[in-house]
């Protein structure tokens, strides 16, 4: 079964750090761009970051650049998002997603179930 499963969410204080993981299964993980997208409950989708198949190319939204780091371990089929200097406005559900359809780098056809990150004192 094709699947993405996020973990690592939770409550963290402002200024703190948190690491998210996304375990992939059922597809050729290393072949595809992977993305993180977040969503404040009840609000819209916001793109966070993406990484190419071999991890050599990364992109970030302006709001997280310099604070978040995306990476991947293709041997373990795991995508990561290391978040630091967290702020209250980083509070959201974080989804990992794969762009595995038709060679389109940004068409996110496989999504995880999401993990909630709450930044609060």
Partner 1 sequence: QSVLTQPPSASGTPGQRVTISCSGSSSNIGKNTVNWYQQFPETAPKLLIYGRNLRPSGVPDRFSGSKSGTSASLAISGLQSDDEADYYCAAWDDSLDGVVFGGGTKLTVL
Q: Smallest distance, Å, CB 85 to partner 1?
A: 19
The residue count for binding partner 1 (CB under 8 A) is 24
Contact between 54 and 32 (Cβ < 8 Å): no
Residue from 2, 11, 88, 101 binding partner 1 (CB under 8 A):
101
67 forms part of the interface with partner 1 (CB under 8 A): no
50 binds partner 1 (CB under 8 A): yes
The residue to which tokens 């409950």 are assigned: 41
- Least Cα distance to 6 among 65, 85, 88, 92 occurs for 92
With binding defined as CB under 8 A, does residue 59 bind partner 1? Answer: yes
CA distance 109 to 38: 16
Q: Which residue has the tokens 């004192």?
A: 121
Distance CA 1, CA 52 (A): 22
Q: Which of 1, 44, 66, 75 binds partner 1 (CB under 8 A)?
A: 44
Instruction: List contacts with partner 1 (CB under 8 A).
Output: 35, 37, 44-47, 50, 59-62, 95, 101-102, 104-109, 111-114
């Amino acid at each position: 079964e094709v699947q993405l499963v996020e973990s690592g969410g939770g409550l963290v204080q402002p200024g703190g750090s948190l690491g998210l993981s996304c375990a992939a299964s059922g597809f050729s993980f290393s072949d595809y761009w992977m993305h993180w997208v977040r969503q404040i409950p009840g609000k819209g989708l916001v793109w966070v970051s993406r990484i190419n198949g071999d991890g050599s190319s990364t992109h970030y939204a302006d709001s997280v650049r310099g604070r978040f780091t995306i990476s991947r371990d293709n041997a373990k089929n795991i995508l990561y998002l290391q978040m630091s200097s967290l702020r209250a406005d980083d509070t959201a559900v974080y989804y990992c997603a794969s762009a595995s359809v038709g060679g389109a780098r940004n068409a996110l056809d496989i999504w995880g179930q999401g993990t909630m990150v709450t930044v609060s004192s």
